[in-house]
Chains A and B, each alone.
Chain A
Amino acid sequence: KQEVTQIPAALSVPEGENLVLNCSFTDSAIYNLQWFRQDPGKGLTSLLLIQSSQREQTSGRLNASLDKSSGRSTLYIAASQPGDSATYLCAVETGANNLFFGTGTRLTVIP
């Protein structure tokens, strides 16, 4: 069964810093990988989706990379802002619409 791990579980950074969130998965036979943001008490918002044939996706200050062979993905956030504070989840799809989620990284950006 696919296992998805996110490290660190929590991260605090001062405003303006660049940061990297890590995601690893055990089975490289994935369909795609998605990064989500979850605010406290709220649902999930999709940030970026990387298909298995791609190596990275960018949206604004966010850049996600995928190394399928090593089972790793990173989410890079440039010039962090207090509004970026949330829990970030990665999820891999192993085909058949089955998303396996990591346990998330709780990010706090300190003004």
Chain B
Amino acid sequence: DAGVIQSPRHEVTEMGQEVTLRCKPISGHDYLFWYRQTMMRGLELLIYFNNNVPIDDSGMPEDRFSAKMPNASFSTLKIQPSEPRDSAVYFCASSLVASSYNEQFFGPGTRLTVL
């Protein structure tokens, strides 16, 4: 398996523009997570899905952020409108729950810069 795939790897946009980040989880994994990493706050969970259904979105910072998982192999994180403070690295991760073992596998991340 190629692991968790994220695109684009880098995104530079201007304030006010819509940004869409994409993620393909590892095939067969039940859970998909979106994280944001900044120097100030470290890694934070934004939202996670189980079997394509959003379970906990309490980490989504504002209504400008939305995430969807239309099928088991694809998820998007959208920011509309984007602001400079959204600049961060966004990671997608997936996991396969087998009994109590719950290791998360991370994608390479998307580095977002909002000017």
Contacts and interface: CB of A to CB of B under 8 A. Distances in A.
B103 interface: yes
Summarize B's interface: helix, strand, loop or mixed. strand
Interface string A47-75: 00101000000000000000000000000
B42 A103 contact: yes
B55 interface: yes
Interface in B43-101: 43-45, 48, 50, 55-56, 91, 93, 95, 100-101
A99 B106 contact: no
Contact of B42 (A46, A98, A104): A104
B104 interface: yes
Interface string A14-51: 00000000000000000110101000011111100101
A70 B109 CA distance: 33
B15 to A, nearest CB: 24
Given A31-B100, A97-B48, A97-B95, A43 B107 contact: yes
25 contacts: A32-B100, A34-B104, A36-B106, A41-B111, A42-B108, A43-B107, A43-B108, A44-B91, A45-B106, A46-B103, A46-B104, A49-B102, A49-B103, A51-B100, A51-B101, A91-B43, A97-B48, A97-B50, A97-B55, A97-B56, A97-B95, A98-B45, A98-B56, A99-B45, A101-B44
Interface of B: 4, 31, 33, 42-45, 48, 50, 55-56, 91, 93, 95, 100-109, 111
